[in-house]
Amino acid sequence: MNNHEPAATVESRSNNRRLVLFPIPFQGHINPMLQLANILYTKGFKITIIHTDFNSPNQSNYPHFTFKSITDGLFKSENRSLNLDTSNYVINFLNESCIEPFTVCMAKLLELEPVTCLISDALWHFTQSVADSLKLKRIVLRTSSMSCIPVYAAFVLGETSYFNTTVKEELALMTENDIEKIHKDRSEKGNEEVICSMIKETKASSGIIFNTFKELEEPAFSALSQDFHIPIFPIGPFHKYFPASSSSLLEQDRSSISWLDHQPVNSVVYVSFGSIAQMGEAKFTDMAWGLANSKQRFLWVVRPGSVHGSQWLESLPKGFMEDVGERGRIVKWAPQQEVLAHQAVGCFWTHNGWNSTLESICEGVPMICSPCSYDQPVNARYVTDVWKIGVMLDDEMNREETGIAIKKVITGKEGNEMRKRSKSLQEKVNKSLRNGGSAYQSLENLVDYILSF
Ligand code: UDP
Can 18-244+432-451 and 255-429 be said to share one CATH topology? yes
Q: Is the pLDDT of residue 429 over 80?
A: yes
Mean pLDDT over 85-100 rounds to 87
Distance CA 288, CA 62 (A): 38
∠ CA(227), CA(229), CA(233), 5° rounding? 95
Among candidate residues 295, 287, 423, 317, the one with its CA nearest the CA of residue 366: 423
Predicted pLDDT at 78? 47
Ligand 1 atom with least separation from CA of 332: 8
Predicted pLDDT at 89? 80
Query: Could you tell me if the CB of 87 is within 6 A of ligand 1?
Result: no
Query: Could you tell me if the CB of 336 is within 6 A of ligand 1?
Result: yes
Peptide bond preceding 264: is omega within 30 degrees of 0, i.e. cis? no
- Chain mean pLDDT for the chain: 93
Which amino acid is present at 80? R
Pocket-testing residue among 355, 369, 378, ligand 1, by greatest number of atoms within 8 A of Cβ: 355
**DSSP state, residue 298:** E
Distance CA 76, CA 285 (A): 35
Tell me which of 3 and 110 has the higher pLDDT.
Answer: 110
Predicted pLDDT at 244? 76
Distance CA 451, CA 323 (A): 60
Q: How confident is the model at residue 88 (pLDDT cuts 50, 70, 90)?
A: confident
Asked if 116 and 131 touch (Cβ cutoff 8 Å), the reply is: no
Mean pLDDT over 360-379 rounds to 96
Mean pLDDT over 120-124 rounds to 98
Sorted by where each begins, the domain ranges of the chain are: 18-244+432-451, 255-429
Q: How far is the CA of 28 from the centre of ligand 1 (A)?
A: 6
Q: Which residues pair with 20 in a beta bridge?
A: 48, 118
Ligand 1 atom with least separation from CA of 301: 8
Pocket-testing residue among 33, 336, 351, ligand 1, by greatest number of atoms within 8 A of Cβ: 336
Q: Is the pLDDT of residue 188 over 70?
A: no
Asked if 148 and 171 touch (Cβ cutoff 8 Å), the reply is: no
Query: Could you tell me if the CB of 337 is within 6 A of ligand 1?
Result: yes
Predicted pLDDT at 82? 58
Q: How far is the CA of 299 from the centre of ligand 1 (A)?
A: 15
What is the fold of 255-429?
Answer: Rossmann fold (3.40.50)
300 burial via Cβ count (<10 Å: 0-12, 13-18, 19+): buried
For residue 278, what are the CA distances in angstroms to 87, 274, 291, 308, 334?
12, 9, 18, 7, 17
**DSSP state, residue 245:** G
**DSSP state, residue 385:** I
Among candidate residues 138, 143, 106, the one with its CA nearest the CA of residue 202: 138
Query: Could you tell me if the CB of 376 is within 6 A of ligand 1?
Result: no
Q: How confident is the model at residue 396 (pLDDT cuts 50, 70, 90)?
A: confident
Query: Could you tell me if the CB of 82 is within 6 A of ligand 1?
Result: no
Predicted pLDDT at 242? 84
pLDDT digits (tens, 9 = 90+) for 417-426: 999 999 999 9
* DSSP three-state, residue 118: strand
Exposure b/e, 14-28, CB count within 10 A at least 16 = b: beebbbbbbbbbbbb
Determine what percent of the chain is predicted with pLDDT higher than 90: 84
Rg of the chain taking only CA atoms, in angstroms: 21
pTM of the predicted model over 0.85: yes
Tell me which of 2 and 352 has the higher pLDDT.
Answer: 352
Mean pLDDT over 214-226 rounds to 97
Query: Could you tell me if the CB of 274 is within 6 A of ligand 1?
Result: yes
Distance CA 406, CA 288 (A): 12
Query: Could you tell me if the CB of 446 is within 6 A of ligand 1?
Result: no
Asked if 149 and 124 touch (Cβ cutoff 8 Å), the reply is: no
Instruction: Kindly report the backbone phi and psi dihedral angles of residue 163, in degrees, each rounded to the nearest multiple of 5, phi listed first.
Output: -70, -10
Q: How far is the CA of 356 from the centre of ligand 1 (A)?
A: 6
Predicted pLDDT at 3? 46
Predicted pLDDT at 9? 72
Q: How confident is the model at residue 330 (pLDDT cuts 50, 70, 90)?
A: very high
Nearest CA to ligand 1 atom 13: 28
State in words which class domain 18-244+432-451 has.
alpha beta
Nearest CA to ligand 1 atom 24: 28
Q: How confident is the model at residue 87 (pLDDT cuts 50, 70, 90)?
A: confident
Beta carbons within 10 angstroms of residue 81's beta carbon: 10
Q: Is the pLDDT of residue 224 over 90?
A: yes
Asked if 126 and 118 touch (Cβ cutoff 8 Å), the reply is: no
Q: How far is the CA of 165 from the centre of ligand 1 (A)?
A: 32
Among candidate residues 301, 302, 308, the one with its CA nearest the CA of residue 281: 308
Asked if 28 and 122 touch (Cβ cutoff 8 Å), the reply is: no
Q: Is the pLDDT of residue 14 over 90?
A: no
Query: Could you tell me if the CB of 48 is within 6 A of ligand 1?
Result: no
Asked if 57 and 51 touch (Cβ cutoff 8 Å), the reply is: yes
Query: Could you tell me if the CB of 103 is within 6 A of ligand 1?
Result: no
Distance CA 74, CA 113 (A): 30
Pocket-testing residue among 275, 345, 360, ligand 1, by greatest number of atoms within 8 A of Cβ: 275
Residue 33 C-alpha from the chain's centroid = 10
Distance CA 152, CA 203 (A): 15
* DSSP three-state, residue 438: helix
